[in-house]
Amino acid sequence: MNLIQVILLSLVEGVTEFLPISSTAHLVLVSNALNIKQTEFVKTFEIVIQLGAMAPVIIFYGKKFLIDRMAMRNIIIAFMPAAIIGGLLYSFIKEVLIGNTYVSLAALLFGGLFLIVFEKFYRSPLRVVVTRIESLSVRQALAIGLFQSAAIIPGVSRAGASIIGGMLGGLSRKTAVEFSFLLAVPTMAAASGLDLFATRGVFTIEEYGMLALGFILSAIVAYGAVRWLLRFVSHHDLTVFGVYRIIFSVGYLLFMN
């Protein structure tokens, strides 16, 4: 990887991590478009910049992690399914799924169709909607975590899966989005930590510098993306993201292959 490629991938990650359009799929597809080979370093770089994108969430919601025990309990419960499944399938995910262009394109396409259909037929619960993360029940938190675990498939979108899981579980749209932000932190921290441990001592000083630069850039861009998405979901549904996923996947298949 060269400096320009590092910057471009970091910008893509910062923009896409919290939107329901799959940052992993975008990183894979943009890497392919830039002729970046999916080496061990590139796969690790893509995971580390995803971790960098978590920094704004810690800035915005630090109190939820440090002070609010009920919110932290719900985050931990929701994190467990992805931790267990991701740990068991780590080798398969990294060696087979991550970097697979056609898996990413298929997941983007069908995920886009699902988002459109979901928003067309979704109706807010008649009962009182959950508007506070600390008010989630153990069952609701676990259900959201199970939805999120589908994102081990590149292109599914961790954010999209957890947001839909939250809305189906009775959360307001804004609360579901906020919970998806919080849930991303332990999920991506675990994925990055596991990967860095598995590849420890393999990279050069220059490559570690690229990892640090990518982390910082993705954090800065993600800060703006988080603020924008919170404003967007206050007045709009997720249909536009479904349309984008379809256009992007079909366009990529037609013009880049």
Residues 78-85 have a mean pLDDT of 90
- What's 171's DSSP letter? B
Question: SS3 for 130?
Answer: strand
Dist CA 70 CA 151 (whole Å) = 25
Most confident region among 23-37, 55-69, 163-177 by mean pLDDT = 163-177
Task: Output 157 or 94, whichever has higher pLDDT.
Answer: 157
Residue 158 in contact with residue 184, Cβ under 8 Å? yes
* CA–CA separation, 222 and 243 (whole Å): 22
Of 55-59, 165-169, 242-246, highest mean pLDDT:
242-246
Contact 9, 30 (CB under 8 A): yes
At residue 200 the predicted structure's pLDDT band, cuts being 50, 70 and 90, is: low
DSSP-assigned states of every residue in 15-63: HHTTTTT-HHHHHHHHHHHTT----HHHHHHHHHHHHHTTHHHHHHHHH
DSSP string, 99-117: T-HHHHHHHHHHHHHHHHH
Q: Is the confidence at residue 199, as pLDDT, over 70? A: no
